Structure 1
Amino acid sequence: MLDLYQYPLLSLGLGCLALVLAPIEIGWQLGTRAKSSGGSNVFALEQALLGLLALIIGFSFLMALTRFEARREAVVNEANAIGTTALRARLLAEPHRTESLKLLQEYAHIRVENVRRGVSLADLPDVIARSNEIQEALWLRAKASAASDAALIPAGLFIQSLNEMIDSQGKRLAHLRNRIPNVVFVMLVVMTVISIGIAGYAGGLDLQRTRAPIYLTGLLLCGVIYVVLDLDRPNAGFITVSQQPMFDVISSMAAFSD
């Protein structure tokens, strides 16, 4: 099965533009040659296909927007979990406090280092592996701190927030990997090509029509498909998930006085 996520967003957008605009001209030429045969059925088919296409576009846009919001919320939740863990790490006795804070700073930094490259965290196995190593190292320090803490209050609070931080990574990765199936995009493009081709054919049958409205419709459809593709790629394109909550956590940890 073709994996659309292997191709750059711009290439997919240009390919979609060509696939949508070409059938307009082909349909128009065929329609002008078939004027004498009439086209009442074609006009009815045009309206039905455009209505079905609007339904599919709305469904696809809702899928992409829902996933985008879930990924944005996952960043906020993970940043909050890291920040809470860092605050509670300051309650630990030395040397666990300094070691844990150093690991947490690295943990937050590696999550934003590749943002400007437009690469999703789920597509960085080395970063995920290093994150898992840091989590294990933090857990060992929490275990050691609990063994030396008779009251278990600071260590217990740290362990609780550390568990939440570990869980937040799993949830964030799950949201990043929950992409719109390729078959939905393929069906969307196929329906657009067929519908816009029939619209071009119907335009060629009608002497009072011009190409401009149909081409404008095709451009608008391409724009909507591009937005759907963009929403489903949180670290590429024009619409990206803000990493500002993670930057704020990094800044707050850097400002710790002890």
Structure 2
Amino acid sequence: MRKLYRSFVFSYMHDIAKLEAKSPGSIAKGKRFSTVYKRRSELTAGRLKVLMAQGFNKRVIALADETEVHSDDELAEGVTTDSGEAVYHIKEKEGRSTKVMNFFRMADVRRRRMDQSKRKQYKLPERRREDPVMPQPSALTALPKQVPIDWFDPSYWNNTLTVREHADYIEDGVDVALPLEEFCKTWEDCAKWKNLPKKEFMQTYGNAVLDLYDMPTEQELEQLARWEDGEGEKSSSNSEGGDDNDDGE
């Protein structure tokens, strides 16, 4: 057993040494990101708990369900509060709408209150998260896999994502989680719509949100299908040979 343990330790340390030699600093970077991921996962769980406790519908829960929908944070070196408390700078989450960010921040106020009421004396207080003076992009750039469309900033959806990505996100239907921002700034605002039937919600609030987002046209979806079936490539070859002139000359 002792030999087996020594063999395991030697192999583990050998692998670490090889990795560090190949990419100096990678071990420290890996540990840092592991901590960042853990904090973001805890933030996800806390926000979900609040939204469920507030009785929101499943579309709003889906808005917060994936870890990738939330921003991460990192310790701001040399920055403290007047009382000496460490500060963590919130990283900018690519693609997320300001409306959703502010909605999550509102949930955080309630989340911290819930935590404080249950937090035992020996537990450390939650870290202090603040926006830096200059926005700092996150190194965690993965987008969520399946979210209501209004998680995305309309400009990002319309101008950054591809038609293929649009098609993937709406493959199982289009959900809108929140009304326009003016209707979800307070819990009192949210109480007016959070449990409306989906059809009534869309008629009263959701369609105005949906109008901000470009949807793939039928022609675009048909062309995507042709490319994926290999027909688009064949058609393109024929066009280059002069059989099909798209310029109308």
* More helix as a share of residues: 1
* More strand as a share of residues: 2
Superposed pair shares fold, TM > 0.5: no
TM-score by length of structure 2 reads: 0.25
Larger RCO (CA under 8 A, 6+ residues apart): 1
Q: Based on CA coordinates, which of the two structures has the bigger radius of gyration?
A: 1
